[in-house]
Amino acid sequence: MPKNNVAQEVEVLRFFETSPIEVAETVFNIVRERLRERRGDGPNVPAQASAAIRQRRPRLAPAIASEPAVHPGPAQNEKV
């Protein structure tokens, strides 16, 4: 990556870190919508957005562990 691009990315990060939250949030929302449009799945592209929704597969729920995830405490023969 050219050094100039890195400097621009650092400037963008500093903008979001130092700007008032209202301004940063507004700019973020604008950038997010434009990136969605570029990708072709934004709300301004209804035909492609609806096709993308139909192609999504539902996520499988993670398996529920039969044993508790937290260790109940030291075993009887363990030193504390």
d(CA 64, CA 37): 38
- Cα separations in angstroms, 69 against 41, 65, 66: 38, 8, 9
Nearest by Cα to 31 from 46, 21, 16, 48? 16
Total Cβ atoms within 10 A of residue 27: 14
Q: What is the pLDDT of residues 19-78, one digit of tens each?
A: 999 999 999 999 999 999 999 876 655 555 455 555 666 666 665 655 555 556 666 666
pTM: 0.44
Per-domain boundaries in the chain: 3-53
